[in-house]
Structure 1
Amino acid sequence: MQEVRNDSKERVILAGCQTKDRNDDHFLYSMEELKSLTATANGEVVAMIDQKKVSIDPATYLGRGKIEELSLLIEEKEPDLVIFNDELSAGQIRNISSIFGEGVRVIDRTQLILDIFAQRAQSREGKLQVELAQLNYLLPRLMGRGLALSRLGGGIGTRGPGETQLETDRRHIRRRMDEIKQQLSTIVQHRKQYRERRKENQVLQIALVGYTNAGKSTILNRLTAADTFEQNLLFATLDPTTRKLKLPSGLNVLLSDTVGFIQDLPTTLIAAFRSTLEEVQEADLILHIIDASHENFSEHEKTVLKLLEDLDVNEIPMLTVYNKADLIQDKEDVFVHSSELLISAKDEKQLRKLQDKIEETLKQEMVFYKAKIHSDQGKLLARIKTETILLNQDWDEETETYECEGYVHPNHSLAHQLNQTEH
């Protein structure tokens, strides 16, 4: 039977090496994730090959016998490229490429993720960060790649800086990296000023974090009517988005979406996107969104918690939200603690439940107030309605005052003011 070729997609063979420090489940999942990443980059996986070894071969990643097997598979399947599941050194890329010949390109997991980021980046900052990460990755790999670089005419793993930058010398790349860093520092400064203004306005900030494709953008869109790109793809959203959210009590907060996390996220990317992840460090509450319908959701959870630990945000309160309840067959498989929530972002009632839970969690960081507001203090009353969690507001005709009860953040200027009006 003749194999049908899909010319719109690049044909890909995936190759992975399971070393002694990876158990079977972790390795199988990382290979499946590599397959999903390839699909996101518009590639079609035509074959997968793997090997168990004590350690990765320093010269060719896989052992000699397995590389020969892979060469035969390349002859049979005629792929456009081979993607390796780990980061390859310059020497490994050179050696593997010389074995396979000029007919097939060789890239690794990091280059694949960088390629997806290059497709997804929309803002100037996002594009600059991706380019910086790509140049960081390429710099130590320029040696011995001359022939390979001249062949890069487009396709997976070649988007971003482009052919001209790839073929220039180290000095030119370093100069470009310095330019990008300078431009990024200006953007980061603007972001810092914007954050400081938000702090002066004393608006509480909530950061959405989670594994890639957990549904963060969907939740942001449903809660705030934002227009963030949402699709069932890895890294569908790359650029951070902040929107205003009015909670049921009337309290206004800011909700920020962040780039999705992933297992074995390349260090160059963590460094490049550090400024966007500062949104998490500045938050008053972190909403950790988990795709509860994914068979590896507990691994996703661990990966995100580890990366949050690296960002040093342990002191910030966190609400864990298990999303995509509508896709779960057996809900008993997902154990939800009283401090957690299981929802579907597509269900209005469950989104209301989420908002109530956000208020409940924020209350734990706030202080209770009971204040009498005179009828001529309209501005103060308006602020109470939008800057605190107002539980009760009763009109007292005798004193011509509003008796207000609720919760206010202890660092908010209203906290002191409301204490002064208490009787």
Structure 2
Amino acid sequence: MVAGGYERAADLPLCNEHLDELSALATTYGFTVVAKEPCSIRAIDAALYFGKGKMEELREKADAIGADVIIFDEEISPNQQRNLEKLFKRPVIDRTELILEIFSQRAQTKEAMLQIELAKSRYQLPRLKRLWTHLSRQTAGAGGATKGAGERQIEIDRRLVRDRITRLSREIKEVQKHREMQRKARIRSGIPTFSIIGYTNVGKSTLLNALTQAEVLMEDKLFATLDTTTRKYALPNSQEILLIDTVGFIRKIPHTLVAAFKSTLEEAVYADILLHLVDINHPLAEEHAEATYAVLKELSPEDKPIITVLNKVDLLQNKSLIARFKLKYPRVVPISAKSGEGFDELLKMMMSIIKDFRTVVKVRIPQKDYSLVSLLMEEGRVIAQEYEENDVVLEVEIPSFLRHRVEKYIEDDSHCQHS
């Protein structure tokens, strides 16, 4: 059974859409959803989230239909989770725990496995007491001795989990060093990179396959892709580019996951240009687009060029939605990744944006702004470098969106060519 709350009657349709998404997540994990329960709530209850009366109603429904697990759309605290499991007498999980379990199922590379283990460890740390409730129930009549032993064991477990978090963080840093070397090699190659980003299950892998004839795993499931895939592709004007397929974004992405998967998610924003894919046929297309932009903002402060690609346009009944997107976002192309409709326009826009996406500048950076040197070396390709007194003089090819950061230090770029 999946359940979610809404405060005003006007919010009920949105609550139902969110429960549909939660049901899709549950199905992706392997559950069979037997009921969706939107609950009208007045205020959040500190002990039981929805309040005792509402939760008892839900328990009666769960008993009547034989639900094995209750899944809440909202994030519930460790204390609420313990109280709810006592009330329901069955496992209670929230959206965050469900997403963590799906990621755990689908992680394939070493980095993804380490990241999900780290996220799960951080999630479990404040919940260790819940894992020990079975001990106190089984030994309820044994007095305080067992309780004391349980408390001691929880402390030992906490220490073990903290040690595991430290070890995993260290291992992830090592894997990330290798990824960083690969990224720098891509920058040195001077080949423009496009990241295909978007809400989970919008057709990113389908688009990558259609453009490059690659065989990337395609499933009609949420989070089918957890690791980044990079493919080389030649545009119609023979310009070589790299296309990167990335992990899908999602509404209310758990903070433990954003932190643990930061390097995988950052792979998307390290690209020169972003292809933001939207399933235009989805009833929550606009909300999904906003959720993706929210995650992007959290990951990258830089304004990179974004092409908003409206996928599945062949299934769209209400064409006015395309006009709404065009009013909101600067570069919008409707396509069908399955049929190839709109590909010509998309490729034209990609070629047009590349023309001036990198620029060569000569800059003199004073000692007080040395952090800029690191940024230019990370994001750009150094052509020449020398030191004059306390200044660093660089001739460097950089993405055009960074030019405003160094404008005041540009010496003379009349000889520098756009590439």
Q: Report the TM-score, using the length of structure 2 for normalisation.
A: 0.77
Q: What one-letter code is carried by the residue in structure 2 that aligns with 1:342?
A: P
- 1:52 aligned onto 2:40: yes
Q: What one-letter code is carried by the residue in structure 1 that aligns with 2:228?
A: P
Q: What one-letter code is carried by the residue in structure 2 that aligns with 1:78?
A: G
Give the secondary-structure state (helix, strand or coil) at the position aligned to 2:296: helix
Aligned with 1:271 (options 245, 259, 277):
259
Change (3 A) 1:91 1:331: same
Q: Which residue of 2 aligns with 1:305?
A: 293
1:179 deviates by: 1.6
- 1:355 aligned onto 2:347: yes
Q: What one-letter code is carried by the residue in structure 2 that aligns with 1:97?
A: E
Q: Which residue of 2 aligns with 1:111?
A: 97
Aligned with 1:126 (options 66, 91, 112):
112
Change (3 A) 1:313 1:284: farther
> Identity, % of aligned pairs?
39
Q: Which residue of 1 aligns with 2:337?
A: 345
User: What runs of 5+ residues in structure 2 fail to find an aligned partner?
Assistant: 138-153, 361-395, 400-411
1:144 deviates by: 3.4
Aligned with 1:243 (options 222, 231, 246):
231
Once the two structures are overlaid, the 10-residue window that deviates more, 45-54 or 133-142, is: 45-54
Cα deviation digits, residues 34-89 of structure 1 (max 9, x gap): 11111111211112223222332111112111111122112211112111111111
- 1:28 aligned onto 2:16: yes
Aligned with 2:213 (options 219, 225, 235):
225
RMSD: 3.0
- Give, in whole Å, the separation in 1 of the partners of 2:351 and 2:266: 23
Give the secondary-structure state (helix, strand or coil) at the position aligned to 1:51: strand
Once the two structures are overlaid, the 10-residue window that deviates more, 68-77 or 183-192, is: 68-77
Q: Which residue of 2 aligns with 1:97?
A: 85
**How many residues are matched?**
351
8 Å CA contact 1:20, 1:55 repeated in 2: no
8 Å CA contact 2:197, 2:275 repeated in 1: yes
8 Å CA contact 1:19, 1:52 repeated in 2: yes
Q: Which residue of 2 aligns with 1:327?
A: 315
- 1:144 aligned onto 2:134: no
1:282 deviates by: 1.8
Change (3 A) 1:304 1:269: same
Q: Which residue of 1 aligns with 2:376?
A: none
1:314 deviates by: 4.3
8 Å CA contact 1:238, 1:259 repeated in 2: yes
Give the secondary-structure state (helix, strand or coil) at the position aligned to 1:189: helix
- Give, in whole Å, the separation in 2 of the partners of 1:70 and 1:312: 42
- Give, in whole Å, the separation in 1 of the partners of 2:95 and 2:302: 29
1:135 deviates by: 1.0
Cα deviation digits, residues 154-202 of structure 1 (max 9, x gap): xxxxxxxxxxxx9971111112222211111011111011111111111
Q: Which residues of 2 match residues 7-18 of structure 1 at below 5 A?
A: 13-18=1-6
- Give, in whole Å, the separation in 2 of the partners of 1:150 and 1:322: 54
Aligned with 1:84 (options 72, 78, 85):
72
8 Å CA contact 1:210, 1:216 repeated in 2: yes
Q: Which residue of 2 aligns with 1:67?
A: 55
1:410 deviates by: 5.8
- Give, in whole Å, the separation in 2 of the partners of 1:366 and 1:134: 40
1:285 deviates by: 0.5
8 Å CA contact 1:18, 1:50 repeated in 2: yes
Q: What one-letter code is carried by the residue in structure 1 that aligns with 2:169?
A: K
Aligned with 2:241 (options 240, 253, 258):
253
Give the secondary-structure state (helix, strand or coil) at the position aligned to 1:17: strand
Q: Which residue of 1 aligns with 2:369?
A: none
Q: What one-letter code is carried by the residue in structure 1 that aligns with 2:347?
A: Q
- Give, in whole Å, the separation in 2 of the partners of 1:50 and 1:98: 22
8 Å CA contact 1:213, 1:233 repeated in 2: yes
Change (3 A) 1:146 1:21: farther
